[in-house]
Amino acid sequence: MPKVSNEHRERRRRQISEGARRAFARWGYEGATVPRLEEATGLSRGAIFSYYPSKLDLFVALAEEGQERLLRIWLDEGFEGVLRDAASNPEWLSMNLDVPRMLRDDEELRARWQKFNPALQAELTTSFVERQARGELRGDLDIETLGNFHGAILDGLAVHIAAGFPVDVEGTLELLRSAVAPK
């Protein structure tokens, strides 16, 4: 068998992930059939599935990649950056519209989801702990409660954006700041 360079493999993987993300965003998980994935990536099913063992594995890899991207923005630019990015990149959000139903019906998948990007998750927790220690975040609630509140606001806005409703990012950020400010 010919040896394929790492660079070539990396390029192919990116081609698959970009095309597949568009297909999942447009058609949903079920609707993104293998022929549609072939069309969106410009590659044969053989090529696609030589990089990912199954459609579910491809979807999960893209979801983990999307979360990695979001966590990096959160760490670099704060939650403001996350919300502004969500409002201007609805494709990343649309890809996730089927996720709640998929997770609800599949406990194993739900467990997999919670283990995405452990190093970045830990870094985010540390940044919350440090902000709380510096008195920038209220100290009467634990980090998990504060973090989940951010998560709920993000997912709620994501639903509104994906559905095509206008959202008020600045108003939301102002309310969030008051919610988490030290009393």
101 binds its own copies (CB under 8 A): yes
- Binding segment for its own copies (CB under 8 A), chosen from 4-12, 51-59, 115-123, 145-153, is 145-153
CA distance 172 to 109: 31
- x-marked contacts with its own copies along 104-143 as a string, rule CB under 8 A: x--x--x---------------------------x--x--
156 binds its own copies (CB under 8 A): yes
Q: Which residues of 110-143 are buried (b: 16+ CB within 10 A; e: fewer)?
A: eeebeebbeebeeebeeebeeebeeeebeeeeeb
Query: Cα separations (Å) of 158 from 2, 55, 56, 105, 165?
Result: 45, 24, 22, 22, 10
- Binding segment for its own copies (CB under 8 A), chosen from 6-14, 44-52, 53-61, 96-104, is 96-104
The SS3 call for residue 105 is coil
169 binds its own copies (CB under 8 A): no
154 binds its own copies (CB under 8 A): yes
62 binds its own copies (CB under 8 A): no
Shortest Å distance, C-beta 53 to its own copies: 24
Q: Which two tokens stand for residue 119?
A: 């190093």
82 binds its own copies (CB under 8 A): no
Tokens 């990912």 — which residue? 52
Query: Cα separations (Å) of 128 from 27, 123, 133, 136?
Result: 37, 9, 9, 9
- Binding segment for its own copies (CB under 8 A), chosen from 37-45, 50-58, 115-123, 151-159, is 151-159
CA distance 131 to 140: 13
Q: How many CB atoms lie within 10 A of CB 36?
A: 17
Q: Which residues bind its own copies (CB under 8 A)?
A: 28, 30, 94, 97-101, 103-104, 107, 110, 138, 141, 144-146, 148-149, 151-157, 159-160, 162-165, 167-168, 171-172, 174-176, 178-181, 183
